[in-house]
Amino acid sequence: MIQIMASWWHWFFLEQTDKVAERVIDAEPDAWYKATSERMGTEAYEDLRRAIHDPATVHALCEDQGAGLGVDREHDVTDHELADASPVPCRRCGPPNPSDARQTEAWGAWRGTGLLVRIR
């Protein structure tokens, strides 16, 4: 799992403790998030633009992404360790045939843990 995350540079960029990512994103949020109203609809696009122009939201987004290398990873390890004792059904939401092998590999890591994982 760590190898998968390491191949996605933005995890490391967003996790920097000196807030480099926040300063870069806050300087040009529309350049960082290349969204268009044509792809996501006018209402969703306007919501996104409002959010990414709010430094508090950008801070929260960076904190959330950075957690993937810290506390989220620790929780994953604990979940794997506890899976045999108390299996919990889990459903993956995403494309039926992921085009990115890393996505399939990430979910494959949960197989055999006692959790019911359905990839649809």
Question: Where in the chain are the domains?
Answer: 2-82, 87-120
| Lowest-pLDDT choice from 41-50, 68-77, 109-118 | 109-118
Give the mean model confidence (pLDDT) for residues 20-33: 92
Beta-carbon contacts of residue 68 (< 8 Å; ≥ 6 apart): 5, 11, 15
Closest CA to 113 of 91, 75, 83, 77: 83
Report the sign of the C-alpha dihedral through residues 109, 111, 116, 119, in that order: positive
- 1 forms beta bridges with none
Phi and psi dihedrals of 85, rounded to 5?
-75, -35
What tens digit of pLDDT does each residue of 29-58 get?
A: 999 888 899 988 999 999 999 999 999 999
